[in-house]
């Protein structure tokens, strides 16, 4: 395992971090909608094996949050990681959208510490900052709260995770002595949200940068379209799509860590193995050109820029928003319209289909990608509905 210094915190963290947002669930395959669903129980035995393997092979940073797996993630991680507590760094996040008064900051953190069974967190982040949440949180005293928890020892280092544009990112960076931040960053999203400009801006201020969604929720490594694979195959050094995605990140000195939300042991084995070779400044200009070509091909294929993060879920009316967009994108990216139509009409329950949208708008307020969800769900239904719908 390779290690890098996480900004001004001075902490040496593994090049690969373990995100506890997409842990395996009981009953098999996980959909994006399960990420925040408390009724979908974590497969504790399998997830524990994954955690143990990661720790024993050098991963020392584990990330969770208040709402992951409907609140189960923190409780699970606390128990699974307890035998290794002195060997690892634990990060969790404050759901700023749940804060209604200044008292909520302490109440939520204390609840999280109780769930985790810990007296302190190594890293504590304001979760999902953007223009909608940043100003209200600051007005209610979020920054003074961070000062306080650093002073009383409940938290060792502080940061924030981010979903918005570069302007608000710079404003947030300049507002506090942050030690680290998490941004959505991968070769597809190089210039999206904070992007490479934000990466440089933070790194110049000695703020450690963790890249979340390194595989874009699996979208850029699963079921590779033939056109994309043809481009990868032109490279003189053959790599899997997963290796290309991680190496693009690790190649950049300003990226401290790739934070991967792993869902099965096979992913842990592969990612840990790749992290053992994480190096900076190794990609050639020709290889960078291949990645740029792949990026542009994907951009032309993908209809909705959904990463299946599920921040829009649960929909109050039952629509499975990420699944609808996944089926819609798959139709165009993998050239299989019959399959998408069949899955939409015959395996997705009517209340979960795009046609069940009531246009309440709650999802659009929560979407970190700022997708026009209501408009795009209409397009999904018009495209995928059967002739008898």
pLDDT value, residue 308: 80
Q: Enter the DSSP assignment of 371.
A: -
CB contact at 8 A, 86 and 118: no
Separation in Å, CA 171 to CA 168, 245, 314: 5, 29, 30
Domain with CATH 3.20.20.100 in the chain: 3-298
Q: So what's the pLDDT on residue 359?
A: 95
Decide: 305 and 273 in contact? Cβ < 8 Å.
no
Only one residue has tokens 């994006």, namely 32
CB 51 within 8 A of CB 18: yes
pLDDT number for residue 302: 83
Q: Residue 333: its pLDDT value, please?
A: 77
Indicate the Cα dihedral angle 62, 64, 68, 70, nearest 10°: 100
Q: What pLDDT is recorded for position 33?
A: 60
Tell me the pLDDT of the chain (389 aa) as tens digits.
Answer: 999 999 999 999 999 999 999 999 998 766 656 666 778 899 999 999 999 999 999 999 999 999 999 899 999 999 999 999 999 999 999 999 999 999 999 999 999 999 999 999 999 999 999 888 899 999 999 999 999 999 999 999 999 999 888 999 999 999 999 999 999 999 998 988 899 999 999 999 999 999 999 998 888 898 898 999 999 999 999 999 999 999 999 999 999 999 999 999 999 999 999 999 999 999 999 999 999 999 999 888 888 988 888 889 999 999 999 889 988 988 887 677 887 888 888 778 899 999 999 999 999 999 988 899 999 999 999 999 875 55
| CATH placement of domain 3-298 | 3.20.20.100
Alpha-carbon distance of 339 to 341, in angstroms, equals: 5
Q: What is the pLDDT of residue 34?
A: 67
Q: What is the number of residues in the chain?
A: 389
Beta strands in 213-293 (DSSP E): 257-261
Query: Exposure string (b/e) for 348-381, b if CB count within 10 Å is 16 or more?
Result: beeebbbbbbeeeeebeebbbbebebeebbebbb
Residue 32's pLDDT is what?
A: 59
- Listed in order, strand segments (DSSP E) in 262-373 are none
């Amino acid at each position: 395992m390779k290690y890098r210094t996480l900004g001004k915190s001075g902490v040496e963290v593994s090049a690969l971090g373990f995100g506890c947002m997409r842990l395996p669930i009981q009953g098999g395959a996980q959909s994006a909608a399960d990420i925040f669903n408390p009724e979908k129980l974590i497969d504790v035995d399998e997830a524990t094996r994954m955690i143990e393997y990661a720790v024993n092979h050098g991963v020392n940073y584990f990330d969770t949050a208040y709402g992951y797996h409907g609140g189960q993630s923190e409780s699970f991680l606390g128990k699974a990681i307890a035998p290794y507590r002195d060997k690892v760094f634990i990060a969790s996040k404050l759901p700023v959208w749940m804060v209604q008064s200044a008292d909520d900051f302490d109440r939520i953190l204390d609840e999280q510490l109780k769930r985790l069974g810990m007296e302190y967190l190594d890293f504590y982040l304001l979760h999902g900052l953007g223009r909608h949440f940043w100003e209200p949180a600051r007005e209610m005293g979020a920054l003074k709260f961070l000062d306080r928890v650093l002073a009383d020892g409940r938290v060792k280092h502080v940061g924030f995770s981010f979903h918005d544009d570069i302007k608000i990112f710079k404003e947030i960076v300049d507002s506090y002595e942050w030690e680290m931040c998490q941004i959505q960053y991968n070769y597809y999203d190089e210039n999206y949200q904070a992007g490479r400009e934000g990466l440089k801006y933070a790194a110049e201020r000695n703020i450690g940068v963790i890249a979340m969604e390194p595989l874009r929720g699996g979208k850029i490594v699963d079921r590779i379209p033939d056109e994309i694979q043809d481009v990868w195959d032109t490279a003189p050094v053959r790599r899997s799509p997963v290796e290309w995605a991680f190496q693009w990140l690790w190649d950049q000195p300003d990226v401290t860590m790739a934070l991967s939300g792993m869902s099965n042991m096979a992913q842990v084995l592969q990612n840990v193995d790749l992290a053992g070779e994480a190096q900076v400044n190794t990609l050639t200009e020709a290889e960078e050109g291949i990645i740029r070509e792949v990026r542009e091909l994907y951009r032309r294929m993908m209809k909705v820029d959904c990463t299946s993060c599920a921040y829009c879920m649960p929909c109050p009316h039952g629509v499975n928003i990420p699944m609808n967009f996944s089926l819609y994108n798959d139709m165009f990216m993998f050239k299989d319209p019959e399959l998408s139509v069949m899955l939409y009409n015959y395996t997705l329950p009517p209340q979960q289909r795009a046609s069940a949208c009531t246009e309440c708008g709650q999802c659009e307020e929560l979407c970190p990608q700022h997708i026009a969800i209501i408009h795009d769900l209409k397009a999904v239904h018009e495209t995928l509905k059967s002739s008898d719908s």
